Amino acid sequence: EIVLTQSPATLSLSPGERATLSCRASQSVSSYLAWYQQKPGQAPRLLIYDASNRATGIPARFSGSGSGTDFTLTISSLEPEDFAVYYCQQRSNWPSMYTFGQGTKLEIK
């Protein structure tokens, strides 16, 4: 089973700053890596899929990069509504399954 490790666990920043979140896989996932944002009491919201593709309606300040085992989600200039928990997720074919990272909490400094 592929394990995803996210860092840092908590990131404290101010609005307007740049946020860089990391996700490392225990083995290569190619580009089958997605990022989600979750706010309290809500379902996760897809931000990025296949490592670098923005989902429909996602602002351009969100970007994803990486391949293989190391991935990054960047938020170029934080808006107040961006403070939330972020999860990475991979999909593997053999065995066919999905796993999630443990999450990074982005909090207001």
Partner 1 sequence: QVQLQESGPGLVKPSQTLSLTCTVSGGSISSGGYYWSWIRQHPGKGLEWIGYIYYSGSTYYNPSLKSRVTISVDTSKNQFSLKLSSVTAADTAVYYCARAEGSSSRIDYWGQGTLVTVSS
The pattern of x and - marking residues 56 through 85 that bind partner 1 according to CB under 8 A reads ------------------------------
Please give the residues from 90 up to 109 whose contact with partner 1 meets the rule CB under 8 A: 90-91, 95-103
Asked if residue 43 binds partner 1 (CB under 8 A), the reply is yes
Among 11, 21, 34, 75, binds partner 1 (CB under 8 A): 34
**Which amino acid does the sequence have at 87?**
Y
Task: Choose, by CB under 8 A, the member of 22, 28, 31, 67 that binds partner 1.
Answer: 31
Quickly list DSSP for 33-99: EEEEEE-TTS--EEEEETTTEEPTT--TTEEEEEETTEEEEEESS--GGG-SEEEEEEEEETTEEEE
Q: Please report whether residue 23 would count as binding partner 1 according to CB under 8 A.
A: no
User: Are 64 and 46 in contact, with CB atoms under 8 Å apart?
Assistant: no
